[in-house]
Amino acid sequence: MKKIISILILIASFAVAHVYANEMDFTVKPILDSGQTLSESTISSKYETGKVLTFELKNESDEPINILIKTSYPGLDTHGNQTFSSSESFLKAPKTVALAAKQSKKITITFDADTFKSDFDGEISNAILFIQDDIGYYFEYMINVRKNDNKATEKLQLVKSEPTNIDGKRAVRITLKNASNAWLKDVKITSKTLGMDGGKTENHDFSKIAPNSKIEILLPLGKSFQVGRYLTDITAKTADKSWHFKANFVLTQTQVDKLNGLKKLPDTGRNAWFLRAISGLVTLLALGIGVQLWLINRKSSCNK
């Protein structure tokens, strides 16, 4: 995932209003068209050419205000938390809406047609925020748009399975990717690494995995890594689909020592004697020069 310049961290279950909504001076009302539904703060829409989203903004105060509108693209950070990048969005919205005292105004938000090309299949999501300029508080909505009603687009991939040591704790790190344009919901993952801890099973539940994003899970180990080959077995399920993955990795002695936090011992191989000989010669040479200087100094003192 490319480096995000500005990130808005939003919780997975969106509330219609920000925690400071009671201190804001405006309201937001979605006006739904055919094929659009609203559940809590999530709007679902089927894509059609010319289809738009409509919102009504109303200034409840006696003073003029400016409403900033920001759209963003969802993803996941390295800890599996949902993040949103403002650098990419398929929603095209006005940046600022000025409202006079007690004024109401309808705005339309369009979809970027290039996002929904002929080969697009599935669902894609963006977030939209309505921010009161002078205080920074906001309303937020999640916008889910699908091109068709095909549910067979769910696709999960195993990216890699690898040993790791995090703050002295040994574990196997598994990286999975939602390789589809659909949200994966209520994902249950069962995983184990054979040959370690007797094949102990770990369970992980994810309420949502964003489209085209990665997640990481850790399998903690109760003992040190050992040299050899290890097999990781992973099963993932949603309500409609299941996946089964197997991956293996091989550890060398050098890798094991590093993963277990062992410090490298001094070299005792065939070249060690040469290094010790050189060190000894340098010491003898320095000692000889010291003795020679002492003799010369002593002789000079006797001649005076």
Residue-wise pLDDT tens digits, 70-89: 887 655 555 555 565 655 67
CB 41 within 8 A of CB 15: yes
The rounded distance, in Å, linking the Cα atoms of 146 and 120 is 9
Q: Residues 207-246: pLDDT tens digits?
A: 888 777 889 988 888 788 888 888 889 999 998 889 999 9
CB 219 within 8 A of CB 193: yes
CB 241 within 8 A of CB 188: no
CB 15 within 8 A of CB 4: no
pLDDT of amino acid 5: 30
Q: What is the pTM of this model?
A: 0.48
pLDDT of amino acid 122: 65
CB 199 within 8 A of CB 231: no
In order along its 304 residues, the chain shows pLDDT tens digits of: 333 333 333 333 333 334 444 578 999 999 998 889 998 888 988 888 888 999 999 999 999 999 999 887 655 555 555 565 655 678 889 999 999 999 999 999 998 888 777 666 667 788 898 999 878 788 889 888 887 665 556 889 999 999 888 888 888 899 999 887 677 889 999 998 876 555 678 899 998 887 778 899 888 887 888 888 888 899 999 988 899 999 888 888 888 888 888 755 445 455 555 666 677 777 777 777 776 776 676 666 655 5
Q: Domain 156-259 in CATH: superfamily?
A: Immunoglobulins (2.60.40.10)
Q: Residues 255-285: pLDDT tens digits?
A: 888 888 875 544 545 555 566 667 777 777 7
State the architecture of 21-146 in CATH terms.
Sandwich (2.60)
Residue 19: HSE in the Cβ half-sphere, 13 Å Cα cutoff: 2
pLDDT of amino acid 19: 40
Handedness of CA 15, 151, 235, 171 (dihedral sign): negative
Rama region for 151: left / alpha / beta (φ>0; ψ in -120 to 50; rest): alpha
Q: Which 8-state DSSP code applies to residue 267?
A: P
For residue 297, give the H/E element and its range. Answer: helix 272-303
Residue limits of CATH 2.60.40.10 in the chain: 21-146, 156-259
Q: Give SS3 for 259.
A: helix
Neighbours of 180 (CB within 10 A): 19
